[in-house]
Amino acid sequence: MMITSENTPLIHRSDYQPLAYLITDIVLDVHLDPDNTEVSARLHFQRQSPEPVEELHLDGEGLELLEIRQDGQTLPESAYRVDDSGLTLFQPAVEFILETRVRIHPAANSALSGLYHAGGQFLTQCEAEGFRRITYYLDRPDCLAKFTVTLHGPQQTCPVLLANGNCVAQGEEAGGLHWARWEDPYPKPAYLFAMVGGDLAAMRDTFTTQSGRQVALEIYVAERDLNACGQAMESLKRAMRWDEEVYGREYDLDRYMIVATDSFNMGAMENKGLNIFNSKYVLASPETATDTDYLGIESVIAHEYFHNWTGNRVTLRDWFQLSLKEGLTVFRDQEFSADMNSRGVQRIGDVRRLRAAQFPEDAGPLAHPVRPDAYSEINNFYTATVYEKGAELVRMLHTLLGKEGFRRGTDLYFERHDGHAVTIEDFVEALEDANHADLSRFRTWYAQAGTPLVKAQGIYDPKAQTYTLTLSQSTPPTPGQSRKEPVPIPVRMALINTQGAKTALDGCGDHEKVLVLEEATQTWTFTEQSDPVIPSLLRGFSAPVRLENALDDQSRSFLACVDDDPFNRWESTQELALQALLAGVQNPGTVQQLPDALERALAATLQDGTMDPAFRAELLSLPSEDYIGEQMPVIAVDAIHQARDALLSHIGHHFHDAWLHLYHDLVGAYARDGLSIGRRRLRNVALSYLVFSDRHREDDMTLHARQQYVQADNMTDRLAAFQLLVQHPLHDAEDILMDFYQKWQDYPLVIDKWFAIQAMAPRADTLRQVQHLLVHPAFDWKVPNRVRAVLGAFTVNPTVFHAADGSGYAFFAEQIRRLDDINPQTAARLATPLSRWQRYDDVRQKAMIQALQLLAAKPHLSRDLAEVIQRAYP
Ligand code: PHE
Ligand code: ZN
């Protein structure tokens, strides 16, 4: 493609060099002003390398240098150089104090990296490399310094001034200004720095740690949102307790602060003692937030809290180690959520996400190892691979070492590395040393990209009464890695007899085992199997692989009814549905009838009123269009949509009375406990099948949805009905759309849903509708949540984004061009679906490549977007 490598110079993991200089202390003085903020910095440098260095480079971006002094003396121009990438000092002394004063422009900072002014507040975002947009610095995670910061701001608009650590002094000054000084006692990398100024109210609570210390908890939001912080606060306290109980980790500061903003590039940020959150993961009330939103808050609050140990106390040596904190912390938050809610349902959701985002990434041109070898823009590596696959690797280590062994390992990891910037290798070594284990082969998982394919073949020998299982593995090539090694794959398994019971494996009384498939092919024989058995493999999804298990429909249907592993029970049903759907894609019209095996599996779930309703809802939901597409050599966009629609309406029709019964049976007063949440979920699944059953019947099932929309006393039910009505391909819902907007126009998070649901509608007029949305008065290019609600949602609307005439791609590319000038990080992330072009037919391929070329030709292409395009179409 036309992008030159000058735009995208690569940084290699193998080039890591230790710091030549330490910064022991940094003292900042910041005068907040939306247009012209001045930042004075005083840095204490100490040489660490034995040899003197010629030049010392400090990172800096978009800074206007006003003053520079060394050891109190103004530095002559011959002693330094300033360019686009920062400030270079010539022949630096062994030890010195550098003082700089720079000017920056927070209101013009629409990239939301560094210090920015949005929604009337000053906020910072320094991960990964935002601090260099605030002052000249050694902006790399292995530079740990003690921070002191004094904020000055107008009392009127910024009554609240926050930074990391403890507030040690404050006061008033002339001109309606005031100031506050904050000190963080723990040395930290600059990416964990944060400061906030604004007119915020705080919800306050306290937490007493296991050693009896009181920690003040504060959640800062706009005054009117104070009553919407309950879920966030309760989740925080639960997370603090959980980390003490499960990992023995206690909080270390006297104060834990969370600030919510509508303008944020990601979900949230774990800045030391001062988390900054996308308001989506803080604010919730029953009227405005769905059950899914509530769960999202619980998990993100916990995630950021857990970073205090996995990320902050023990931090990263360099950005190639990103998964050291993210994979481990995602694993921890997943386990926390599993303990707080239903473990089985949690695992199903985690795997759904992995398959929806990470598997496609790992199979396309953006594939990279969990520990990448090179990058151009680190922002592009906050990926599903680093996060979700990284978490799966930690989960496998947990499985291989066992719960106690894993805990011994993390104890040693914290003991050895507290206060240091370390590597993934250090983590694996701690696990090894604490368990006298050899994980040398496991390391390949971190180095090798691609999703392994595991094939299973089993034979029952009635004469010998043995069951022989052969497993083999292979990993497809990925960019830059054509040859792949086998990896150790923990396969949790059981054998299930004709009565539906797990048999003893090898007479040792174990009914479940973890086989470790390390070689390309391995065989296991289980003796004393007096009955024919069916294998239940990869229970709990014990490894991030694709499993090809040669089972007939009858066996799958059997497992779907009796398997006691929730994940595998769900998987068996999904597999049956998938087979029906793929058959429907091959031969449109074959989904005339419900295949027997699938019918049996669904019927069993529908009839079993004793089961957890949330789990039932999962069992009764069909695979997504994207997941179906992933299973095909060429994604047949429209045929998939039609086959899935047809199957939905067959299931709706076939079980109509059961759905109706469920729907009426599951009404209940609104409550927030797990059972009530599950009942709402299942009831809304029933409602969707009722609506889909329409086309077989005279009666109009959307009436139920209309009624639910009007009568609902909570957002979960209201939104479920709203979505069904707005996305119905035949009915018109103009009145409902208007009503919803009018009711919720003052609630940005709700209006995001209003935008997204329209952009995801599988309707013929959706593209036109989306064009209107972009000029709607409530649309704002500078607010990432809003942009994602329209453009992000659009890319997960298969039939519209991938419209055969290329209209979706062309429209999309134009919008990304525009966004790139405003917020490159978000533009690059949103553009990644275009990288999947190889998976489509020739006509779509051409159109997708054209869209990529349109982007590549953009003037002032950001490094973020350039790298994505370059890798998508090299
Ligand atoms: N470190 C944050 C998290 O995972 C994510 C993040 C990355 C936020 C970069 C902002 C910028 O919790
Ligand atoms: Zn994280």
Position 858, amino acid = K
Q: What is 453-550's CATH number?
A: 2.60.40.1840
1-106+124-198 against 453-550: fold identical: yes
pLDDT exceeds 70 at position 7? no
Delimit the domains of the chain by residue range. Answer: 1-106+124-198, 317-447, 453-550, 595-731
Query: Please, are residues 659 and 607 in contact by the beta-carbon 8 Å criterion?
Result: no
Q: Which bound ligand lies closest to the C-alpha atom of 277?
A: 1
Q: Measuring CA to CA, which residue among 870, 787, 776 is closest to residue 827? A: 787
Position 478, amino acid = T
pLDDT exceeds 80 at position 698? no
**Side-by-side strand order, sheet with 489-497:** 513-517, 489-497, 533-537
Distances 513 to 344, 493, 535 between C-alpha atoms, Å: 18, 5, 12
* pLDDT tens, residue by residue, 462-505: 999 999 999 999 999 999 999 999 999 999 999 999 999 999 99
Query: Please, are residues 367 and 449 in contact by the beta-carbon 8 Å criterion?
Result: yes
Residue 5's pLDDT band (cuts 50, 70, 90): very low
Cα–Cα distance for residue pair 271/251, rounded to 1 Å = 14
Q: Which residues line ligand 1 (CB under 6 A)?
A: 125, 127-128, 265-266, 268-270, 303-304, 326, 382
Pocket test for ligand 1, best of 382, 386, 825, 826 (most atoms within 8 A of CB): 382
Atom 6 of ligand 1, residue of closest alpha carbon: 269
* Burial of 668 per CB tally in 10 Å (0-12, 13-18, 19+): exposed
Stretch 21-41: mean pLDDT: 98
Cα–Cα distance for residue pair 155/420, rounded to 1 Å = 38
* pLDDT tens, residue by residue, 233-279: 999 999 999 999 999 999 999 999 999 999 999 999 999 999 999 99
Cα–Cα distance for residue pair 148/187, rounded to 1 Å = 10
Residue 198's pLDDT band (cuts 50, 70, 90): very high
First to last CA, the chain: 6
Topology of domain 317-447, CATH? Neutral Protease; domain 2 (1.10.390)
pLDDT exceeds 50 at position 559? yes
Distances 267 to 277, 301, 565 between C-alpha atoms, Å: 6, 10, 32
Residue 351 CB neighbours (<10 A): 19
The tokens of 135 are what? 């002052």
Residue 509's pLDDT band (cuts 50, 70, 90): confident
DSSP 818: H
Kindly give, in sequence order, each residue whose CB lies less than 8 Å from that of residue 422, ignoring residues fewer than 6 positions away. 314, 315, 316, 317, 321, 324
* pLDDT tens, residue by residue, 621-631: 999 999 999 99
Stretch 118-132: mean pLDDT: 98
Q: What is 1-106+124-198's CATH number?
A: 2.60.40.1730
Residue 1's pLDDT band (cuts 50, 70, 90): low
Q: How many angstroms separate the alpha carbon of residue 413 from the centre of ligand 2?
A: 18
415 is an active site residue = no
Closest ligand 1 atom, CA of 303?
12
pLDDT exceeds 90 at position 639? yes
Beta bridge partners of 64: 103
Cα–Cα distance for residue pair 654/333, rounded to 1 Å = 39
Rounded to the nearest integer, the mean pLDDT of the chain is 97
In 363-423, where does DSSP find H-type helix? 384, 390-417
Cα–Cα distance for residue pair 115/158, rounded to 1 Å = 15
pTM: 0.98
CA 83 to chain CA centroid, Å, is 35
- pLDDT at position 588: 81
Query: Please, are residues 536 and 559 in contact by the beta-carbon 8 Å criterion?
Result: yes
Give the right CATH number for 595-731 from 1.20.1300.10, 3.40.50.720, 3.40.50.620, 1.25.50.10.
1.25.50.10
Closest ligand 1 atom, CA of 265?
10
Q: Which bound ligand lies closest to the C-alpha atom of 191?
A: 1
pLDDT exceeds 70 at position 854? yes
pLDDT exceeds 80 at position 2? no
Closest ligand 1 atom, CA of 379?
9
* pLDDT tens, residue by residue, 643-694: 999 999 999 999 999 999 999 999 999 999 999 999 999 999 999 999 999 7
Q: Supply the angle between the helices 566-586 and 343-353 in degrees, to the nearest 10.
A: 40
Distances 319 to 99, 104, 305, 373, 381 between C-alpha atoms, Å: 27, 26, 20, 10, 9
The tokens of 292 are what? 């899914």
- pLDDT at position 697: 64
* pLDDT tens, residue by residue, 413-466: 999 999 999 999 999 999 999 999 999 999 999 999 999 999 999 999 999 999
Go through 76-94 and write b for each residue having 16 or more CB atoms within 10 A of its CB, e for each that does not: eeeebebeeebbbbeebee
Query: Please, are residues 245 and 306 in contact by the beta-carbon 8 Å criterion?
Result: no
Cα–Cα distance for residue pair 505/527, rounded to 1 Å = 7
Stretch 323-345: mean pLDDT: 99
Atom 1 of ligand 1, residue of closest alpha carbon: 269
Q: Which of the residues 218, 304, 571, 599 is marked catalytic?
A: 304
Q: Which strand (E) or helix (H) includes residue 116?
A: strand 114-118
